[in-house]
Every structure is written in C-alpha cells, then in structure tokens.
Structure 1
Amino acid sequence: MNELLQQKIDLLPDRPGSYQMKDKDGTIIYVGKAKSLVKRVKQYFTRPQVGKVQRMVSEITDFDIIETNSEKEALLLEINLIQKYYPKYNILLKDGKMYPYIAVKKSGMPYLKIAHKATERKIYDYFGPYPNSSSAYKVINILNLCYPVMEAERNKDSSNLYRYLQQLTDPSYLKDGKVDPETVRKKVIAFLNGDTSQVISNYREKMNQAAEALDFERAEEFKEKIQDIEHIASSQKIMMKDRVDRDVFAYSTREGYISMLFLLYRKGILLGKNLYVNEIQEDIREEISSAIVQFYAAHPKPKELIIADTALQDELSAALDLDVIVPTRGLKKDLLMMALDNAKQGLDQHFMTARLEDDNIALLTELKEKLHMDRLPLEIELFDNAHTQGQDAVGGMVTYINGQKAPQLYRRFNIRQPNRADDMASMKEVIFRRCTRIVHDGLKAPDLIIVDGGTIQVEAATEAMRASGIKGVKLAGLVKNDKHETNSLMDGDTGELIPLDKKSPLFFLLMRMQDEVHRYAITTHRTMRAKSLFSTFFDGIPGIGPKKKERLLDAYPTMESLLNVTLGELEQLTDSRSATLIMDKINSLKVEQKRIDATVERAASQKRES
C-alpha cells in the first residue's frame, strides 16, 4: 500500500457511502458501497485477498468516497456510478431481453403498433408484454384482418372504405351506418385482455359461410386464423391465478462464480428469464443487492419480487419501492425453488461452455502445429461466395473465436467486379477488401484466414493479401479429394497438402466451420436475391398503380411475408382480379425459387470441389 492510500484510509469516516477505486491512470476500476466506509475500504488492504479481488487490489493507486445519509442512498448511488463509469471489476449486467408490448392509440381509431417500453408515449394504452416480436405482430395482423377499417383509415383510402366494410369479419362496430371508433376500441381491447370468444365466433361463422358456398380455400384461411387465435390464447394460460406482475430472483455459486436469475411473470404468465453469470468480486450479499437494483434501473419493475434471503428483504424493498417477499411455503416457495434450479443449470452450462473452450484450445493447438504457425489461431476468419449465374453475387465471412462462432463479427460483401460469375475474381475481391480494411482502419487482424477451396482459391487469396499489405496472417484452404469430400488442408505459405483424419475432433471442428461459412454465404445470397425480386414484384401487374403498390409494400414489407400471404388477405387490400394475379405470380415465384435454390446449391458444390 502506498503512502497516499494509507493517509486517505486514516481519514475515512465511520459512515455509510460509496467508494470508487482508481488505477494509476485515474480510471475508476471498481465502485462499491459500505455501511462503514472506514471498515470496508480498510479490509481490501489489511486482509489476504484471492482471485479477482487480489488482481483489483494490485491495481489500486487511489480512491475517492462519497458519504451518504443511509445504506439505501449508498446503494442507489453505487448503481448510478456503475452505470456512469462501467468499472471493469464490477458485475455489469448486460441488457437483458426486452419484451415487446402492443400499443393502442387512445383517441380516434385505435391504431396498433409494437413498443418495447410500456411508457413510451402517453397517447397509447399498452398491452403485454409478449414473449417476442413475432407473437405481438401475429396478434396485430389478426386484429387488423378482423377490423380492417383501422388500416383503411390509417391509409386514408376512402375509395376502398365501403369494400372494406363489406368484408369485415365483425361488422357490428358500425353505428348509424358509420364507423364508431370507440366500439372498435372496446372490441380490440377485449381481445388484448384475453377475451377471444367473439372474434373466434365471427371467424367460425365466416368459415361456415365460405364452406357452404364451396369456397374451401377461403374457409381454410378462416380456419387457420381460428387456430392462430387459439394458439395465442393457450400460450397465455394463467399460471398464477392472482394475475400479479412478479419476478422471482435466485442465485447459485460455484468455484468463485455466481449465476443470478430473474424469472419474469406478467399477469400471472411466465414470460421468460434473464440469466447472468459473473466471477464473484465482493461479499455475495452486496453483489446480489447491487445486481438486483442495477437490473431494475434498466427494466420495468413488477409489483412484487420474490427472493430467498431475508437479510436483503428490507434493503431491497426500500431501494426499489416494491414488495419484496421471502416465502417459506406454498406456490411462491415452489416458484423460488424452480428459479434456483434454473440458476444452478445456468451455472452448470457456464462451466460446460468453459470446458468446451478448453477442448477447442487443444484442437487449435493441433491446427497451429499442422500449419507451422508461431501462435495459436484463436481468431479465424473463413470466406465463401455465392451467386445465381452471376446475379446477386455476394461474399460471406464468418469468424470463430477460441473455436466458437462469433456471429456479431460476421460480414457480407456485395461483389463489385464486373464478371460476377468468376468465383476466383470474386474471392480475390472479397479478401482484398477485408484485408485492406484491417490495414487502413487499424483493426485487429485474425490469426488465420481459411478459404473454402483448393489451389486456385488459395492462390487468389494469396494475391489479394499481398496486394492489401496485411502482415502476420496465416492462410489455409480446405481441399476436397476426387470423391468431392474434404480431406486435407493446404498451407498457404508452402502449398503443402496436410491430410486430415476424418475421425479426428479437429476434422469435425473444421467441417463445422466449413458448413457455417457455406450456410452464411448461401443465406445472404438468397436474402439479396429476394430483395431484388421484391423491389419490382408488383411492377407490370394490371390494376396495380403506384398507390396500390405502396399500400401492398406497407402491408407486406418483406418477400417472406409476401410469400406467406393468402388470397383473402390480398383481397382486403386490392380488387379480386388484381389479388388473383398477384397470387398467381407468388405461386410461380415459389416454383422458380426452388429451381434457383437447387441451381445455387449445385454451383456452390461444384466450386468447392474444384
């Protein structure tokens, strides 16, 4: 301990407050709270420390304090400082999953939209949260189909309003021959509150009418909507009859690590969980209280929180201003035990992943030796490209860190060179652009680049890397034999073919990497191709002008959503003749897409075999 630290410790008060530990650069590396600042801070330097705490203490050269009037104030101040400075030795809870709500406009026609905060704007009422965005969108689509007048008025399409009203699944919201927004609102809100009976009844009546008219396709559409509604209703089955918003918190410790789990119940329904695993730094109770308050600084608070530790009950209740319950029996105790099981499972998963990383390090060591590298290939980038007869050509790059996928580092490259059917020119362009970006922007270079192919691909990649000026990056290729099976590595420096044992763990790791870069390139190409087709899809269809095209693109913003549309849904947005023509084009496109996908797959396979 340096002299400055000793002098400052001698002056510390015996009062609650927050302390901020600093390193030699003056950076705050840890923020803590204490009932007694003098006792807590002195412990760091007078007691033996191990692990993460020992590492932190070795870096401390100074500290500051802020006195508070109470432990509650100290806790809240600690959270504010953690969120301000993000100290490296504090437990930092990454943003947990934010669950979507459906927002219903309070005045006028009750337009619906997705919101990720239930307090976004005061002009909306909020319903939810829902497990994911797709569930929320499905509910909105059902309601818009059931009450299409909402979309009709939003689009200001008065010319089609009468036809919309004729096709309404539930026309009972007309008042004196006019649309009554308040009646629509009541029906929509009833549905969002769980009363699906009226909507199902209306759909069932329409289904029967269509069947009697021998319009079986239309009847099937209504049947599918009924099944969607019933699925939504069953997924919202109440688990807690009191329908209270509550969270359940539990934790588990093992070998210097702690897992902290929140189970989230909304209106009695188990919505999901947020799990955090961190190395233990402080007293466990202090870490837990800090983590819980930090969690609710970023997430909506429930009405009550269930925990296991009575010592934290009063502190958390005061800091969070909510009911904190420590159950001893009954259903709430069962919920707590379930949360504890999940916390233990999360910690087990953490150690399993850590063991997997250890296994991968052993395989990467073997790869290093085979390629005569001077360091472990901890970061590997793999490249592949895909196109359809030169159209929508794209290059894909996937990244592996410590032998595991790192999707956040994946990159795609739209091929720019004119002969986009030339795989070697495309490979050269993609690797040149990637390596040039690394050199010019000072990015961290990978340890190893692997191309999907043999001599020709490796030579193209070598030329690109040399032209970019990148240094210190190893190159290798995955090579196939005469039976079109990957069986060896090519050393990019020497051209040496290195046989691979097809039963070895290293071979399986490389095959997973090869399959992943191929999947990513093909998927990216298909997405690009779909966008190209989609942008001009409605062009040339009789009866579809600019306004109708805009309305259709608003309703179906992606090719995926358009390919799943039904004739009945199209007839809600345009006349029957145009809807039929659109449906015919969709069906033709599906057939063509299957043919093109097969062509792309064959071309990619032939390229890898060369």
Structure 2
Amino acid sequence: MSSSALDVQIKSLPNQPGVYQYFDSEEKILYVGKAKNIKKRVSSYFTKQHDYGKTKVLVKKIASIKHIVVNTETDALLLENNLIKKYQPRYNVLLKDDKSYPWICIKKERFPRVFSTRRVFKDGSEYFGPYTSMKTVKTLLELIKGLYQLRTCNYHLSEQKINSRKYKVCLEYHLGNCKGACEGLETEASYHKNIESIRDILKGNFKSSLQQFKTQMKNFAESMQFEDAQRIKEKIEVLENYQAKSTVVNPKISNVDVFSIVSDESYGYINFLQLAYGSIIRSHTLEIKKKLDETEEELLTLGVTEIRQRFNSQSKEVYLPIPLDLGENLKITIPKLGDKKHILDLSKRNAMYYRMDRLKQIKITDPDRHANRIMAQMKADLRLTEEPRHIECFDNSNIQGTNPVAACVVFKNGKPSKRDYRHFNIKTVEGPDDFASMEEVVYRRYKRLLDEEQNLPQLIIIDGGKGQLSSALKSLEVLNLRGKIAIIGIAKRLEELFYPDDPIPLYLDKKSETLKIIQQLRNEAHRFGIEHHRNRRSKGALQTELENIPGIGEQTIVELMKQFKSVKRISKATKTELTEVIGNSRAQKIINYYNKE
C-alpha cells in the first residue's frame, strides 16, 4: 500500500476507544495496540520522532492498518490481550497462555466431592483457583480432609439408589474419613452444611468455620462428651494454625488484587497477590519481554489485564504502585502507609526476588542472554552510544614511591579476559607521579593497538578522579582517539563516576549491576598491578643480593631460586646442596661470598 493510501486510512480512523492492528506488505500482523482514541494514538506513530530503533523499524514496515471499535477501555484492554495471545505479533511483548494451573473443584452432585483438577468443565461445578502452586492445593485439601468427613467415591448417590441399598460403605467409612452417605447414614442437609464451610475456607474466610467448631466443642463439653470435644479442639487448632500462617495483613482487607512491577532494560516482572480476609490466597509473577522500550505504566496495564483474565479474578479493588486507567468498574488504590502499603511492598519484594532468581537461572542456562542484558543495562546506566562489549581499566601502583608500574585489565561481554591483561613498567616518569604515569601508560597502550590494527575498546575506565582522567584524555587527544572511545574515571571514596568536561559526577545505585562490574574491573586492575609491583620489588631485592656475587649470572640465580625458593635459604645452604644445583665452581663462589659477609 502506498504512503498516500496509508494516510487516507489514518485520517479515516474513528475517535473512539478500541484496538488497532498494523500489517506489513504481505498482510502479516506486526503489532496490536489499544487506545482511548484510536485515531489520535495511531497518528502519533507517524508524527513523532522515535528515538528507539525498533519503533522506527516498525513504522517503516507498516503497510496497512485495521481497527476494532469497542464500547469501553476495559473492553479494549481485554480484546488487545486476546489478540496478542492469538497472533503473537513480532513487535508486541510476549505473553504465554498457561492453561495447566491447578484448581479445586466442588463437584455438582447430590453429595459433592472436593478434589484438585487441571481441567475446567462447564458442568455447573464450582472451581476455586487457579492456584499457582500445587503445594497450596494439597495443603488446602489436607486441611479440608482433616476438618470435614467427605466422600471420595464416584458413586451416583441418587435418593432412589441409596434407598434400594445399591451401595455398601467402604474402608474410608471404617477409617472415620466418611460418614457413609452411600448407605443413608448422613443426611444431605448435614453434608451441604460442611460444603458451605469449605466454600468459605477456599475463599479465605475462616471465621464461620471456627465459630461452628467452637460451638460444637462447647456443646460436647457441656454434655460431658470429652473425647468428641477434644477431637473438635484439635480441628480448631489446625484451622487457627493455617489461618495464622496465611494471614499477613488486616483480615478486613478482602477481595483485593495487588500488583507491583520491577523492570530492567529488557524485561518487566509483574507480581500479583490476591487477598481474602487478610490472607494471600494466590501469588503469581508474570515476566514480559520488552519489544518497543515500553514504560512501566504500559507493561503494568497489560500485565494487570492479562493476570486478572488468566485467573478469572472478580475482585472489585486493585492496589497499585502508580495510577492506571483500568476501566470504570474497578476501584484503584495507591497505598501510602499502613497495612495496604505493607502488602504492596510485599508484592514488590516478590517481584524483585523473582527477577533475581530468573537472572541466576539465565546466567547458568543462557550466558549469551545474560551478557546481552548486562551490556544493554550498562549502555543505559553510563549514557553510552554503544554497548561496552570490550572494556579496559587502568590502575597505577607505586607503593612507597619505588618501582612505579601500571596495570590494564580487560573485560569482554562483562567477564574478565585474562589473556588480554597487560603490565606496564613506567619508563618516562621520575618518582611517584600518578598523573604523568597514567598519561604514559594510556598512550603506550593505544599507540600499540593502533599500530597493530587491533580492536579498540568501547569503554575505558580510569581508577582515579578528575586528575587521572584528564591525564588519560591528553594521550587520547594525541592519538586522535578522543570522542571515539568513551572514557570515565571512578573515585574510590564515594564511587563517583567522572566524565570528560562534566564537573558533576554520576552516582549509580549501590546495588546496580553496572556499578558492580565497574568495581570488579577496578579491583581486578588493582590486584593485578600490586602483584606485578611485588614481583618487581622481589626481583630488585634478588638482583642487589645475588648479582653482586662475581661469576653468578641471571640463569644461575633462576636455577637457585627454583630449588631454594628464597635468598635466605641460598645463603644458609651447604656447598654440597649448592653443588647439586649449579656445580662445584659456582657453589664455591657463593660459599666464599657469604663466609666473607
């Protein structure tokens, strides 16, 4: 379709809420979006300047536009969600539809069974869930089994069949787990009273069940049926213990959905908690992959809609960290303090833990994806024009003003590349001058890389403040590399990051992965430099001691050090021990030297 035809399509779009779909020249769906005003939203794609690369590419590929008008924004949200899951457009965030969550079913029968299932049938039965953990389902079913005696058989217990004595009680009856409804030993009314209590428990309301058991216990005690009273007391303790473990906030907070979001450059993690009578009855975290640099508001709007639809939530109130427009029939609360804020913080903590776990898994199972995410994060945090796949960090070492050296360590894709590490002995600087030493080392490093036509790094890190950074910049200017390689300095005391020509330092979050990698680089450069400095000092001491002996050369010293490990041991060795290593003549020279000493 020509651009003029596309313009006509855009101008003819309605100013109504609904869903729009972008198609390419082959009629393949590219993107699905929802809007309060379809015409206004679609027009913005073609009139705004898009900084994000993928949005630019998307707009270039759009050949035709289709739209669906709906009555409300809520309808648009649900329709967008369904279309994304159905067509999985290339430029939409990824949503996985998982239909295998477990439910608890109260079967539509004369004497209903209660059991877990992963399949939902429209047969009039009641389904509670879905639950995100099978462990929760088993715990609830064990609790119900301990409190109420329900049948587990699948007999058709019609009144006619029971009266005709068609069935006999089974082992469950003799074990005390069933009251024998199949033989008419329990009335339908009594059984359904227990089912009502089970409904309340599955909804998170323990109050009526507790009150019922306490009344029973009191009646048994008054009639001196102490064994029965003790049995009911044990059930009360089980129920109270379960309630204590599940209640996390004020029991008055009920029928509420809580959502929070944590995001990074590539993914958003949306946590969902559902509350009933102060208890968390459901928890789930949804991972959404970003496609077009979506904001947290956009991701959270999509995530809330998806999760509420997936879990068939009927809650009328939602707690959120930020205001969202989710439709007229839903109450939005932004908690600031108290129990409501406590539960929102708990939700965010769950999202953060989920993200941490996912990152650990990715690091192990998919190191490339982990590296890609880290690089994208560093690019954004450090305001770079490209990902720092190749980083070099410099550090000076001139302890006590002697043997000045420098170290350059190299990280590739966020990991140390030790074969590329380099040591430098300072050649042109007299005395401990960190600034001049940094200038010399940076010049030597990149002069050599240019001469040998090797790859240059995307980022240089200088261990030091403004002074060392300025010195390094002088060398880059001489080599005509300033502006071609990003360079920053890190000051030790406050972990300040300095940029060229910017007097205000950048402070990164102390827990950020970008800062941790920079600190790792700095620490590795320091370790590597100190190691080289120590070796030079040792070699200097060795030269002043053994090379003063006439007739003892460097190769002899190496052989002696391999055998005796230290100059002190060499000085105390016998002639026989020395002769075995370096021969009689040179051994005698060392003996003569130390005896003379």
TM range (shorter): 0.3 to 0.5
Q: Name the larger-Rg structure.
A: 2
TM-score (norm 2): 0.46
TM-score (norm 1): 0.45
